[in-house]
Amino acid sequence: MARTQVSRFLASPPFAILCAFRAFAVKLHEAMDLVLFDLDNTLLAGDSDYEWAQFLIDEGVLDRATYEAANDRFYEEYKAGTLDIYEFLAFQLAPLARYPRPTLDAWHEKFMEAKIRPMMGDRARRLVAAHVERGALVAIVTATNSFVTGPIAREFGVEHLVATEPERNGDGSFTGGVAGTPCFREGKIARVEAWLESRGHQLDEFPASWFYSDSRNDVPLLERVSRPVAVDPDPRLAEIATARGWEIMSLRS
């Protein structure tokens, strides 16, 4: 392009519009808040991981005598902050490897109707919608695996999910193992930072970063955001939130 043509383009309305749009996009990028939600016992009035195993037991897919006591034990260890996440995932992900995906998907839709939708309260739905409508970058960040939680995130209207990932074979079926770092305790920080980096962001760049959680297990990520919020917190998190002046709220009726 000749020099005179370049000069004319730089002075033209289309170039000015392009510059204005880019400036607006940069400003919008800088002004966007980050909002992260834990799922189980935070947005949900219950635990989807625990309820998925109970659903499979009730359906006769898993043997009640073998699995129910183990499911209860893992849940109590989680609440006490003593859960061995790899031992739990070996228990929780194994059934995914035993059945074809269409069968798992059919069970999951029944699970959504029977167990999950009744746990999705209006207050939680409104809180999520409010942040989405304000233009925040919103994600659900959960230790529960993405097979269980993907449809739940979509039901809440949340595009982004950072969850523990089940390992897959080349054909997309599940191996029964875990892929990468479990999204649990400090692993939530690593997984959130990796997700943000994949989108060209860093955690510290946001004007405000929120994380809503009920659990003592999420203190590491709560400490990393600028707006930690304890939602219907367990006793230990309630103590920590009170001592540190964190916001405490309820999403239950």
* 38, 214, 218, 234: the active-site residue: 38
Q: What is the strand order of the sheet 247-249 is part of?
A: 174-179, 160-168, 137-145, 34-37, 209-213, 227-231, 247-249
DSSP string across 12-63: SHHHHHHHHHHHHHHHHHHH--EEEE-IIIIIBSS-HHHHHHHHHHHTTSS-
Q: Give the residues across from 211 on adjacent strands.
A: 36, 228
Give CA–CA dist 17/25, Å, rounded.
12
Q: Give the 3-state secondary structure of residue 185.
A: coil
Is the C-alpha dihedral spanning 65, 87, 211, 191 positive or negative?
negative
Phi, psi of 228 (to 5 degrees): -75, 135
Structure tokens at 52: 């998925």
Measured in Å, how far apart are the chain's first and last C-alpha atoms? 66
The closest of 194, 238, 211 to 36, measured between CA atoms, is 211
Per the annotation, the verdict on 38 as an active-site residue is yes
Contact present, 92 and 142 (Cβ < 8 Å) = no
* 40, 49, 214, 218: the active-site residue: 40
Other residues' Cβ atoms within 10 Å of the Cβ of residue 234? 20
Beta strand 160-168 pairing with 174-179 = antiparallel
Active site residues: 38, 40
